[in-house]
Chains A and B, each alone.
Chain A
């Protein structure tokens, strides 16, 4: 019975942990602008994350090492360093976006300007990294993040034309009033929001924190194969809510609060409160995970001790990296750069670096020495390679699209 409970918990935390500020913002923006036409980007991104997440989790469970640990060995010092540098830059930007997101939610709740909340958000994030136990962090935020299910409920309460939604999703043509570059720019942003680099590092390092072994494979697979897709479904629900309420009203999303308006219409203040709790939990969790991932990556590349299951004084350099990461990201947000812009930029730049992030995962999952009989099968490799090609194509078109559309204006 407790095993069932543990599995359920794992799935739930994967759902709540998948959605972060990137998903919230991009789903809202694209729903209001393109209707359901970009649903395919979320589906594709979720499939990619599920595939590669399962691989990373398997590596953590079977090889008993998180992916980044092995990257340096298998890909060489220089490639590993390039990977690490890119990862730190992207995740730093993403961390700034998440911290900005937490501050924005606090502003929505209290009415006090978000800049005041940024140091608070940073302090709480760092405290979670510093002392909160791993399982408490996962369970608490995962469950609270499930409040985002209120978006699904809202869809059933609103006068939703399910047929029209389905039609929009299955006919992904570019709407007449939007250009092709804008369409593909936002497709890239949705794809990138599902495949954020820090998620893989966190999922595999987290697997080590929870001491996964070969016996944990079913549990891990359930987390990845059920949790991530359900998280993707939540993103689609947020997009659909924007389609039903915001698009007909002619509202273009440029602020986080607007994403919650459909829930207010459907379920009133109570629903709104749940939506905001869900926002807060998802974004706060993502901020902590992002900061931890940066610590994990550096410590695993350089061979330092790491982990939340030990006292901070026993892994001082790991905690130093996390602290510096939070401080750096906070400084960036405090320049009062628009958090929504930072969010879109971070997921898009993440998309530009997708092959660099995910290719090592594929390499390691195919390593017979580490994986033994759990090495990737041929079908899995074929599927993963297809996705790798998609990622390469994405990364090539991203930067031109970024310049051409001026970051989605």
Chain B
């Protein structure tokens, strides 16, 4: 019976740790800033990934399926990151301000990736180049956001 109780305690502790890990970070202001920073990092990486794939494709070094896959993945990853951030409740006033500052650039990034995906699937070279150029501003936006979130 001691064994059973030990087991229950261990499971209880493990669950607490696990749940704390899931819930904890965004309850504080610093946690929320981290989350915004992480989201910006993820979206920035998605943009970079899509950009690399499309650039290689324009240089004739890719197979269409991989380009399409990479861009689609980038779009859906960015979208998921944006949704995950939006679903978190900003805990403080400054967190809310940060979110208001972040939401536009994030949405722009997701839109830009979507436009790129559409252009790639349609095979429209001019649209692809335009969409590629359209990634620049959102990329800078994400960089600014990362700086702001880390306390700049």
List residues of A whose CB falls within 8 A of some B CB. Answer: 107-111, 245-246, 249-252, 254-255, 257-258, 260-261, 264-265, 267-269, 272-273, 403-404, 406, 409
Contact = CB atoms under 8 A, between A and B. Distances in A.
Contact of A264 (B51, B66, B73): B66
Given A261-B52, A264-B66, A404-B21, A252 B61 contact: no
A90 B18 CA distance: 21
Contact of B17 (A111, A246, A403): A403
A249 B66 contact: no
B49 to A, nearest CB: 5
Interface stretch (B40-48, B86-94, B111-119, B123-131): B40-48
Given A257-B70, A258-B70, A406-B21, A269 B49 contact: no
A267 B52 CA distance: 15
Contacts of B69: 107-108, 111, 255, 257
Given A264-B61, A272-B63, A252 B70 contact: no
B68 A111 contact: yes
**Most A Cβ at <10 Å: residue of B18, B64, B65:** B65
Given A269-B62, A273-B63, A250 B21 contact: no
A403 B70 contact: no
Contacts of B61: 264-265, 267-269, 272
23 contacts: A108-B69, A109-B63, A110-B65, A111-B68, A249-B51, A250-B45, A252-B41, A257-B70, A258-B49, A260-B66, A261-B53, A264-B61, A264-B62, A264-B66, A265-B52, A265-B56, A268-B60, A268-B61, A269-B62, A272-B61, A273-B63, A403-B18, A403-B21
Given A254-B45, A261-B53, 12 more contacts: A111-B65, A111-B68, A245-B52, A250-B48, A257-B66, A257-B69, A258-B70, A260-B66, A261-B70, A272-B62, A403-B21, A409-B38
Nearest to B14: A403
B77 interface: yes
A255 B50 CA distance: 12
A269 B64 CA distance: 10
Contact of B42 (A107, A108, A252, A258): A252
A107 B66 CA distance: 9
Contacts, number: 73
B11 to A, nearest CB: 13
A269 B66 CA distance: 10
B78 to A, nearest CB: 11
A252 to B, nearest CB: 4
- The interface size bin for chain B is 20 to 34
Contact of B48 (A110, A249, A255): A249
Contacts of B21: 403-404, 406
A263 to B, nearest CB: 9
Contacts of B62: 264, 269, 272
Contacts of B44: 250
Contact of A255 (B51, B56, B73): B73
A406 B22 CA distance: 8
A250 B56 CA distance: 16
A406 B52 CA distance: 28
Contacts of B49: 249, 251-252, 258
A107 B45 CA distance: 22
A57 B66 CA distance: 40
Across the A-B interface, give the 4 residue pairs with the lowest CB-CB distance, nearest first: A252-B45, A250-B48, A111-B65, A268-B61
B16 to A, nearest CB: 11
A272 B48 CA distance: 19
Contacts of A261: 52-53, 56, 66, 70
**Most A Cβ at <10 Å: residue of B38, B65, B66, B77:** B66
Contacts of A403: 17-18, 21
A255 B64 CA distance: 16
Nearest to A110: B65
A269 B52 contact: no
A409 B61 CA distance: 31
Contacts of A254: 45, 73, 77
A118 to B, nearest CB: 16
A269 B56 CA distance: 10
A269 B69 CA distance: 15
B151 to A, nearest CB: 14
A272 B17 CA distance: 43
A261 B51 CA distance: 12
Given A249-B52, A251-B52, A261-B56, A269 B45 contact: no
Contacts of A269: 60-63
A251 B48 contact: yes
